[in-house]
Amino acid sequence: MDFYDTPEEANFRAEAQAFLEANVPTEQEMAGLDYIAAAKFWQQRKFDHGWATIGWPKEFGGRGATAIEKVILGQEEGKYDVAANIFQIGQGMAAPTLMAYASEEQKARYLPKLSSGEEVWCQLFSEPAGGSDLAALRTKAERDGDDWVVNGQKIWTSGAHYSDFGILVVRTDPEVPKHQGLSYFFIDMKSAGVEIKPIKQMSGGANFNEVYFTDVRIPDAQRLGEVGQGWQVALTTLMNERATIGGGGLAVGVESVMKLAQRVNIDDRPAIEDKQVRAKLADWHVQEAGLKYTSYRTLSALSRGDIPGPENSIGKLVGAPKTQDMASFAIDLMENSGAMWDPEFAEDAGVFQSAFMSIPGLRIAGGTDEIMANIIAERVLGLPQEPRMDKGIPFSKVPTSAKY
């Protein structure tokens, strides 16, 4: 038992470090670029040097790297303050689906530009009437000559406004049971009849969009998989969805809450001396360290070339509520001051308030806590599904809360 790289891994890490050291964009290179332009700049450079989408076959812009090599590059790249990755959905979800279902011409046309970041893709799956029950989607497509005509609405689409293409699941037959009437397409986001509206979140930010389709025409050639096989194709996409959204990217962890507890007082003593405060910090450390060492176990399996066990499926279910509770507790420690969400006056420039206001979304995105618990129960423990009221009946006869 150890935490070391194998000799091959160490070589690869050194190679990745050398590439990053020499090529991470300088501040001058980034000057004046917005985050999309900055992300594209860095992605193109990685592509030019053979460091983009390294797990893909060489012909599409990759280098056939192993799973552990992808992790190592991610670890090393994470040490730099490089531009945010706006390509994750396209490269991580759309591309594997294209590889499995697109024609050779389409793969040659789209995959290299996905790899280089020249073209950005988004995912058009969720709908107002189909969130956790994704297959209940109602956006319809009707055949018209060589085209399909699409009408309906998608929601929670990250990056729709800067995307060139989108992967889309629609209902092509409402008269068969739910999963059997779906078909899967990719679509040019500049198509006539596509309207994108940002969704303002309770945190004040706007990371998602609503996307409306009014008589949008999609060539049949852009269908992936057979008509009526859209659910099976969508499962290919979803299998590649990153399950571990966790509490990541936020500056709220045990260490930051501990430091706050050392600065503020309870009963005229530093809060850190309070036994209740210590008990809570200990419990959160158990979760934080538990997740960290769970990921080490997953990495060990990858390093050996094995498929990791199911243990990493707990990441988001533990991480998101933990971060919410920690942010809430940190704000409580500030007493009256905790209300302030101001970079100048708030403790730690307001990171706890920011986390408190954004975490409710994280507990829902990519599978709600409840769905994640179902997934663990069904796929890890092998417990049976709940009986479904919509099983075996035509979709058009299934009760719905949708108003159209």
Contact residues toward other proteins (CB under 8 A) are 1-5, 9, 68, 254-255, 258-259, 272, 275, 278-279, 281-283, 285-287, 289-294, 296-297, 299-301, 303, 311, 314, 317-318, 370, 373-374, 376-378, 380-387
* β-pairing verdict for 182-188 and 165-171: antiparallel
Q: Which is nearer to other proteins, 72 or 86 (CB)?
A: 72
H or E, element range at 214: strand 208-219
The one-letter code for the residue type at 32 is G
Nearest approach, Cβ of 313 to other proteins (angstroms)?
9
Give the separation between CA 368 and CA 365, rounded to whole angstroms.
6
Q: Which is nearer to other proteins, 33 or 71 (CB)?
A: 71
Q: Which is nearer to other proteins, 39 or 326 (CB)?
A: 326
Give the separation between CA 371 and CA 156, rounded to whole angstroms.
17
Phi, psi of 95 (to 5 degrees): -60, -50
Joined tokens for residue 15: 């190679």
Measured in Å, how far apart are the chain's first and last C-alpha atoms?
58
Give the separation between CA 14 and CA 69, rounded to whole angstroms.
11
- Report how far Cα 360 is from the mean position of its chain's Cα atoms: 15
Nearest approach, Cβ of 317 to other proteins (angstroms)?
6
Give the separation between CA 220 and CA 216, rounded to whole angstroms.
12
Nearest approach, Cβ of 125 to other proteins (angstroms)?
23
Per DSSP, the three-state class of 123 is strand
Give the separation between CA 132 and CA 379, rounded to whole angstroms.
16
Give the separation between CA 58 and CA 50, rounded to whole angstroms.
9
* β-pairing verdict for 140-144 and 269-270: unpaired
Q: Which is nearer to other proteins, 120 or 314 (CB)?
A: 314
Q: Which is nearer to other proteins, 182 or 291 (CB)?
A: 291
Nearest approach, Cβ of 286 to other proteins (angstroms)?
5
Nearest approach, Cβ of 180 to other proteins (angstroms)?
23
Nearest approach, Cβ of 289 to other proteins (angstroms)?
5
Q: Which is nearer to other proteins, 293 or 345 (CB)?
A: 293
Joined tokens for residue 397: 């006869």
Q: Which is nearer to other proteins, 33 or 376 (CB)?
A: 376
Q: Which is nearer to other proteins, 93 or 258 (CB)?
A: 258
Give the separation between CA 251 and CA 260, rounded to whole angstroms.
13
* Torsion of the alpha carbons at 169, 95, 101 and 368, rounded to the nearest 10: -40
Nearest approach, Cβ of 310 to other proteins (angstroms)?
9
Nearest approach, Cβ of 311 to other proteins (angstroms)?
5
